[in-house]
């Protein structure tokens, strides 16, 4: 019940930040203090001003409390409260309530804490400095013009008022600090709970990652076993090759895929009216190389030549193993001159390769630019150019002029 009452008065910690809740406490204490001062000052016969001032201020503080608690306003009520306390209420009460001989100096100490709690940044610094100036001015006034300070009717009245002020300040001090500490503990616990939740989620993610890693390892092992079976079973190997787009030996695209891509590029070139050049490269006397040096060396030669081709074409160009020792190169957005330059550079790079026993391996090829034709017609032109290069001295890239 007590906790529910406090929450009702100052607001719950989920809706109101710690500073706002402390502000609500201040307004409640200020309201009670003001109306209590009215009663005390009346019975102590401290004069009409000492009754009217806290009475009016009490209603003002009550209005600020309603704006803060009900409307959830903070900045404007907090600023107004600090200004009213620092520059109007307490200075006036100093003058009409005995000055340093009364209980008002205790409130000044509490007010300094209020400035520190409610305000921030430059606003806090300026308000506090101005408040210090006000305190100094009040002390100077009391020293040089003591007649301006309204005193007490009796020593007993002074002690009653002094005791009341001291009690109120002690009570307010404990209330402010306990509210701050309680809010700090709640925020700390909230942060601790968040951290525990994050750690819990991190552990769950780590467990899931380990499961995924184990699954990945199993998949990798399964893939390796599949590849081993593929090397033993020719029929399964052919089926996988049809599903795959990559030639297992050279790392270039396989024949099925390179033909599909060429047909697509031809269609795209016709639609976009962009140039397209295609080259077909064949290793010269590859059967003789195989027969003389063995098929393993032949495979090695294919791999090195494929690597040279891939290194010398552009990023958007496409290369595939068209036959046993033939490579088809697709050069999008390229005319026959550019295509010939790329293919000729590749031929020279292959010619410059060093092989065992001072062996020289060369390639021949044909290069043609797409016209208003389809795949079959274009390929026949390239194939004829390649055949023409073979009939000559080989180690030639033949082109159409």
Q: pLDDT averaged over the chain?
A: 82
Homologous superfamily (CATH) for 246-399: Reverse transcriptase/Diguanylate cyclase domain (3.30.70.270)
Average pLDDT over residues 159-186: 70
pLDDT digits (tens, 9 = 90+) for 246-278: 998 999 999 999 999 999 999 999 999 999 999
Per-residue burial over 199-220, b if 16 or more Cβ lie within 10 Å, else e, is eeeeeeeeeeeeeeeeeeeeee
Written as six digits, the tokens of 231 are 């090397």
pLDDT at 1: 47
401/289: higher pLDDT: 289
Q: How many residues in the chain?
A: 401
Inform me whether the pLDDT recorded for 2 exceeds 50: no
Residues with Cβ within 8 Å of residue 278, at least 6 apart in sequence: 262, 328, 329, 330, 331, 339, 367, 368, 370, 378, 379, 382
SS (HEC) of the chain: CHHHHHHHHHCCCCCCCHHHHHHHHHHHHHHHHHHHHHHHHHHCCCCCHHHHHHHHHHHHHHHHHHHHHCCCCCHHHHHHHHHHHHHHHHHHHHHHCCHHHCCHHHHHHHHHHHHHHHCCHHHHHHHHHHHHHHHHHHHHHHHHCHHHCCCCCCHHHHHHHHHHHHHHHHHHHHHHHHHHHHHHHHHHHHHHHHHHHHHHHHHHHHHHHHHHHHHHHHHHHHHHHHHHHHHHCHHHHHHHHHHCCECCCCCCECHHHHHHHHHHHHHHHHHHCCCEEEEEEEECCHHHHHHHHCHHHHHHHHHHHHHHHHHHCCCCCEEEECCCCEEEEEEECCCHHHHHHHHHHHHHHHHCCCCHHHCCCCEEEEEEECCCCCHHHHHHHHHHHHHHHHHCCCCCEEECC
pLDDT at 18: 65
pLDDT band at 206 (very low <50, low <70, confident <90, very high): confident
Average pLDDT over residues 88-102: 79
Query: Quick one: what percent of the chain has pLDDT higher than 70?
Result: 82
pLDDT at 12: 60
pLDDT digits (tens, 9 = 90+) for 35-78: 777 777 677 666 777 777 777 777 777 777 677 666 677 677 77
CA distance linking residue 107 with residue 166, whole number of Å: 8
53/377: higher pLDDT: 377
Average pLDDT over residues 270-296: 93
Written as six digits, the tokens of 197 are 């939740």
CA distance linking residue 207 with residue 152, whole number of Å: 77
Going from the C-alpha of 181 to that of each of 68, 72, 187, 243, 249, the distances in angstroms are 21, 22, 10, 69, 73
Do residues 19 and 76 make contact, with C-beta atoms less than 8 angstroms apart? no
User: Can you give the pTM of this predicted structure?
Assistant: 0.42
pLDDT at 318: 95
Domain ranges of the chain: 2-196, 246-399
């Amino acid at each position: 019940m007590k906790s529910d009452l406090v929450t009702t008065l100052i607001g719950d910690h989920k809706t109101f930040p710690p500073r706002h809740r402390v502000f609500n406490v201040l307004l409640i204490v200020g309201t009670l203090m003001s109306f209590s001062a009215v009663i005390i000052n009346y019975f102590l016969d401290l004069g009409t001003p000492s009754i009217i001032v806290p009475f009016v201020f009490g209603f003002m503080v009550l209005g600020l409390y309603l704006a803060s608690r009900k409307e959830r306003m903070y900045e404007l009520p907090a600023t107004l409260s600090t200004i009213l306390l620092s520059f109007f209420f307490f200075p006036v009460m100093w003058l009409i309530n005995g000055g340093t001989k009364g209980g008002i100096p205790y409130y000044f100490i509490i007010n300094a804490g209020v400035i520190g709690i409610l305000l921030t940044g430059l606003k806090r610094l300026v308000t506090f400095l101005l408040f210090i100036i006000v305190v100094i001015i009040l002390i100077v006034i009391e020293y040089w013009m003591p007649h301006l300070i309204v005193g007490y009717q009796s020593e007993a009245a002074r002690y009653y008022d002094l005791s009341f002020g001291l009690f109120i300040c002690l009570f307010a001090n404990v209330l402010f600090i306990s509210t701050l500490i309680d809010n700090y503990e709640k925020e700390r616990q909230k942060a601790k709970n968040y951290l525990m939740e994050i750690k819990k989620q991190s552990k769950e993610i780590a467990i899931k990652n380990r499961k995924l890693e184990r699954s990945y390892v199993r998949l990798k092992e399964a893939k390796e076993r599949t590849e081993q079976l593929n090397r033993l079973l020719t029929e399964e190997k052919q089926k996988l090759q049809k599903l795959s787009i990559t030639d297992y030996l050279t790392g270039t695209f396989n024949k099925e895929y390179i033909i599909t891509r060429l047909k697509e590029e031809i269609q795209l070139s016709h639609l976009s009216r962009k140039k397209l050049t295609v080259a077909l490269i064949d290793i010269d006397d590859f059967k003789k190389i195989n027969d003389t040096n063995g098929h393993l060396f032949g495979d090695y030669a294919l791999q090195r030549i494929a690597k040279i081709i891939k290194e010398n074409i552009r990023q958007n160009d496409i290369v595939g193993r068209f036959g046993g020792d033939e490579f088809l190169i697709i050069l999008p957005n390229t005319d026959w001159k550019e295509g010939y330059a790329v293919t000729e550079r590749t031929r020279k790079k292959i010619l410059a390769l060093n092989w065992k026993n001072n062996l020289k391996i060369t390639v021949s090829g044909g290069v043609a630019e797409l016209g208003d034709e389809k795949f079959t017609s274009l390929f026949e032109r390239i194939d004829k150019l390649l055949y023409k290069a073979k009939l000559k001295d080989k180690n030639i890239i033949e082109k159409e002029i």
